[in-house]
Amino acid sequence: MSGNGTTGGALTRPQGTRFSIAVYNATVRALTQDRVVHGQFDAHWADIQHQEVIAEDAAQARRLAARIFPPADGFVITEVKPLVEAA
């Protein structure tokens, strides 16, 4: 999954618990406030985006999300929480 223009979707592992990941891009957020366009990531990354991952625990979910949305590229993970499956 690319971090440049996608929203939603699932980042998956074969087994585990589904987690909701809240992530935004701090660089895009700062540039957007100054009405400047980021050269790589769409403006919607200034706002929190929700992604799903499947992992064994919250720590693994955060590590997986950080590989897909690297902090070095400006991404900030604000929340990792398990999703409750509908019965």
5-43 pLDDT, tens digit each? 544 556 654 578 999 999 999 999 999 988 888 888 889
Tell me the torsion sign for CA atoms 77, 63, 12, 81: negative
Residue 70 has pLDDT above 80, yes or no: yes
Task: Evaluate if residue 61 carries a pLDDT over 60.
Answer: yes
By three-state DSSP, how is residue 82 classified?
strand
Distance (Å, rounded) from C-alpha 86 to C-alpha 67?
A: 29
**Could you identify the residue written with the tokens 């999300």?**
65
Q: How far apart are CA 81 and CA 84, in angstroms?
A: 9
Of residues 40 and 65, the one with the higher pLDDT is 65
Report domain extents, the chain: 10-82
pTM of the model: 0.77
